[in-house]
Structure 1
Amino acid sequence: MFANTSEPKQTAVDNESYTDTELEPLRSEDEWAINSLKDGKSPGCDEITAEMLKASGEAGITYYHKICTKIWKTVEWPVEWKRAVFIILPNKGDLQLCSNHRTISLISHPSKIMLKIIMKRLENILETEVSKTQAGFRKGRGTRDHIFNLRNIIEKFREIDEEIHRFHRLF
């Protein structure tokens, strides 16, 4: 997946560590992913809910661990997991306008197990690889923070009657 240009990154889920980004999913990752699914969410086409997955206990964790391991090795996503139900919900305002509607997608809860594992691994890698100044698409940070900072800097330059082109040199 990633070229190994430095020493391997360590990542941990539920106190179990691994250093290889290509390592197949650990059972503890599957267990973590199942337990972190949100209750009360609508199921996808397969009608499997998060509550059903959690209630399956150790047998369910073992079953989905085998599925996730197979997907990881074959790089083939099950067809059922690729299907989604799209629902259009109205927002406030004139419902004749398309802009006053939003779409939600109901995907298979079992597919969310694998998606959570992939997402967690990528988050852990990106936290060490991406610059600390990068804000977009990072947990607890946002581009709005950068925009706010830039506006403050511009205002300070204007307060001291400094020309904005000098501000450009900072970046």
Structure 2
Amino acid sequence: MPMEKIKQSLSDFVHSTTAIVMITLFLFANNTVVPAQALTVKPTKTQEQLKKETLDKYSNTVYKPSEKLSDMELKKLLQAVGFEGKALKTAWAIAKRESNGRPLAYNGNRKTGDSSYGLFQINMLGKLGIDRKEKFNLRSNVLLFDPVINAEITYYMTKGGKDWSSWKGLNKPAQEFYMKFPTTTK
């Protein structure tokens, strides 16, 4: 009799194990996700990577020749290069005053001492231009038509938006733009 019990126990064990294996195979056979993919986690992006993506977007996508940036696009670009708080509002107002948000704005009136390029109308006349090309590693003044390069150089020149003396600060026209700074995310 003990041998009969052992056979029955062994038979029950094999039957149970077979059922478990069959159920497991059924569940995994219908799953379209490969186990290795199921464990893949998308890495989170660093602040630096997100900033680079935003700046690349403005250099390569948003910026189109002869067009101007919308008020919100200009605000987002200036935030991406580092302007914040009051400095952001001031930068936005001065860019609006200088170029009305047009990356291809150019003032070549040498009689008034101008050879100014881009959003912030960075002046490159004479020795000033030679010095700035060297300081900011510019191969050509035309690079200042790229809104990202123009805004980054302006950020540097203004010490992060603290010194706007090269732009005569918030004069009356800039103050009028300052009051129109976009506060919504539309």
Quickly name the TM-score band, shorter chain normalised.
under 0.3
For normalisation by structure 2, the TM-score amounts to: 0.25
Structure (1 or 2) with the larger CA radius of gyration:
2
